[in-house]
Chains A and B, each alone.
Chain A
Amino acid sequence: MLLKLWRNKETRSVIIQIVTIALLFAFFAYIINNAVLNLQALGKTFSFDFLKEPASYDINQALIEYTSRSSHARAMLVGILNTALVAVCGIVTATVVGFLLGVIRLSSNWLAARLVYVFIEFTRNVPVLLHILLIHGIIVHFLPLPKQAINVADALFLSNRGVYAPRPEFLDGFVYTTVAFVVAVIGAVLFRRWAKKVQEATGKIYPVFSICLGVVVVLPLVVFLLSGSPLTWEMPKMGRFNLQGGVVMLPEFLALWLALSLYTSAFISEIVRSGIMAISKGQWEAAGALGIRRNRTLQLVIIPQALRVIIPPLASQYLNLTKNSSLAIAIGYMDIVATIGGITLMQTGKEMETMIIVLLIYLSFSLVISAFMNWYNKRIALVER
């Protein structure tokens, strides 16, 4: 009877699948049971109550209010925001730099293309951890002490304790400028839609980009000046040990951000290059034959098609960058791993619980990025009409 079932191709495949699933469940049941037994043997409990206890440690970079009396949960939130900060900044910078490098690499200027080639090969063939340590080392060892900080036009102060910038202080009338900005943005969006309609109906093309940019910059600026420039800057001043006041970017943040951006940009530039190269020369020639100008061809014909090649591997790079940010631990940037997965773990001894939390957080970061990139990929996918 069983043999008969086994000989049948369909039932055999069902049997194999059932057995596999049963084994898989047995495996997970075993490792979970193992964990529970070992925790019991050590006399440890499994609970997340520790999250409510005061964390008792300080964090040097917190985007939200945090003191050593705040809870472990709050410390975790600070860590999540710090990871998000470096991931978002890194993704933006890596994308911009990567696209620029990718385009330059294709340029007909021999020197520029070669220089970029050398940069890319150097950057992507050295482990990202070394980039992080190298940049951190450069900042800490070669930038001057806060007393001799390099003053860049009163806007940036470079020192080995971080880069300081003046902090904007908004006075009462600033709300008008904000309103003007919002109005300008809405106006620009409407104008763009209208211009598109006109173009589709009559073929008349407006310089949409320059007009939009003009409106978004000029309108708020005029309102800002009319309302009496309601904005002052709090300058960093030298205290006894450090520059005080202003906004500071710590060396750890800078090192991590720059290293992740440069490293990932090298990969992105190659993805961009492959995307552009994937579009056959015939597309350029066809657009040229229709009398479309070169920059319009790039904008309307080449890039939309190249993006379809670029987006899926680009999404992987974004995921890599976010996960690589956990190397923060090497230089002491206070991300999730350093806060909840590091100090909290050590102070409470809740290895299992904290590691589960860290794992889930990275997982959700990655899933959010994936979901967004999939949505975008679908949007730009070839629509057959």
Chain B
Amino acid sequence: MLKRASFAVAAVAAVSIASGAQAGTLDDVKARGILHCIVNTGLPGFSFTDANGRWSGFDADMCRSVAAAVLGDGEKVKFIPATGKTRFTLLNSKEGDVIFRNTTWTFVRDVDVKLTFIHTTYYDGQGFIIRKSKGVKSAKELDGATVCIQTGTTTELNLADFFRANKIKYTPVPIEDSSEARKNYLADRCDAYTTDASGLAATRATFEKPSDHVILPEIISKEPLGPVVRHGDNQWEDIVRWAVFALIQAEESGVTAANADQMAKSPPNPDVARLLGAEGDLGSMLGLDKAWALRAIKAQGNYGEIFERNVGPKTPIGLERGLNALYTNGGLQYAPPFR
């Protein structure tokens, strides 16, 4: 018996050594032939499974763009749904290659949790939604209210700070993910639900009667949301960052999914030529080929197209571009030059 136990120990030790091997994320992804992308378990407009069982939304589409740039095919993505609490562990344990899950960029996460934030793909802020029938006009009137909140997120801290600063009391109801939060809010377990304003709009769009609910005017925090990679793999960080910038630059230069091939053949200016790989070889500097950005743009369209299709004013979610417009239109989206 003892002997058998010692064999088992040796076997386990051997397996652990074998799995301890390290490699760059790009090599891993290429070898695997599929991109592992950590997304929200279900947030309409950002990442959710649609009626056909396909992952869709703003974050899911951006992930496909990265897959197209790296692997040549935007469908070669495995989506790994994660709650607010599991996402960083999944990333750091290499279950996923990148997080595209409305994740707020903060000092502690960047510096102490050892994550690398790529870019703010969506500028957001935390708000409250409440039933119109409760007759609340401002978040400062929420004294004594019960508030549903997604646990493990920055919104939890902002909420505590907001109520403390305004010297009013509340009862938090911590909840694992947005669909649970929606259920509890609709069952009136809580008076108000708080999360990023984009998430509130997305959630409200799924209600039977969205007009019965109002998003309060206060935005109580800055929530810069964007993709995240592991600390320390600079090549992979650059790839994800510039794939995102390529989508933003494409919008600025008027490159769309429809005209990208045309533009690549006869670029209207040197900027577009470099972006689409008709001139120079930016791709090889990333460890990719020349057409990486062209593929990323063709996969799901440029930044503006992705935004309009998933969360824009014409969708049920109906978010304005606001801060997320290009800098040329008074927003904050701005890609550094491709040269």
Contact = CB atoms under 8 A, between A and B. Distances in A.
Contacts of B189: 140, 160-161, 251
Interface string B59-92: 0000000000000000000000000110011001
B16 interface: yes
Interface in B151-192: 151-153, 156-157, 159-161, 163-164, 170-176, 184, 187-189, 191
A76 B230 CA distance: 28
A349 B108 contact: yes
Contact of A329 (B2, B20, B144, B176): B176
Contacts of A240: 143-145
Contacts of B175: 332
Interface stretch (B6-14, B200-208, B212-220, B316-324): B6-14
Contact of A27 (B9, B20, B146): B9
B229 to A, nearest CB: 13
Interface in B104-162: 108-109, 112-114, 134, 142-146, 151-153, 156-157, 159-161
Given A44-B114, A346-B85, A347-B157, A160 B108 contact: no
Interface in A329-385: 329-330, 332, 334, 338, 342-343, 345-349, 351
Contacts of B254: none
A33 to B, nearest CB: 10
B187 A141 contact: yes
A303 to B, nearest CB: 40
A130 to B, nearest CB: 15
Nearest to B3: A16
Interface stretch (A2-10, A54-62, A117-125): A54-62
A20 B144 contact: no
Q: Which 8 A-B pairs have the closest CB atoms?
A: A349-B113, A346-B152, A68-B160, A332-B174, A241-B145, A20-B6, A58-B160, A239-B144
B2 A17 contact: yes
Nearest to A13: B2
A57 B232 contact: no
Contacts of B222: none
In terms of DSSP, what is the predominant structure of the interface of chain B?
mixed
A93 to B, nearest CB: 24
Given A141-B187, A145-B188, A349-B112, A332 B176 contact: yes
A316 interface: no
B88 to A, nearest CB: 7
Interface of A: 13, 16-17, 19-20, 23-24, 26-27, 30-31, 34, 41-44, 56-60, 67-69, 140-141, 145, 160-161, 239-242, 244, 251-252, 329-330, 332, 334, 338, 342-343, 345-349, 351
B271 to A, nearest CB: 37
A23 B152 contact: no
Contact of B173 (A13, A67, A332): A332
B144 A242 contact: yes
Contact of A349 (B109, B161, B170): B109
Contacts, number: 129
Contacts of A26: 13
Given A16-B3, A27-B9, A68 B161 contact: yes
Contacts of A241: 134, 142, 144-146, 191
B5 interface: yes
Nearest to A45: B112
Interface in B233-257: none
A20 B13 CA distance: 13
Given A58-B163, A160-B188, 9 more contacts: A16-B6, A20-B2, A23-B13, A56-B157, A68-B160, A140-B187, A161-B146, A330-B176, A349-B114
B187 A338 contact: no
B156 A343 contact: yes
B231 interface: yes
Contact of A348 (B5, B108, B230): B108
B108 A347 contact: yes
A20 B143 CA distance: 63
A371 B12 CA distance: 33
Nearest to B86: A346
B85 A23 contact: no
B160 A342 contact: no
A19 B6 contact: yes
Contacts of A17: 2
Contacts of A145: 188
Given A56-B161, A347-B157, A334 B174 contact: yes
Contacts of A60: 171-174
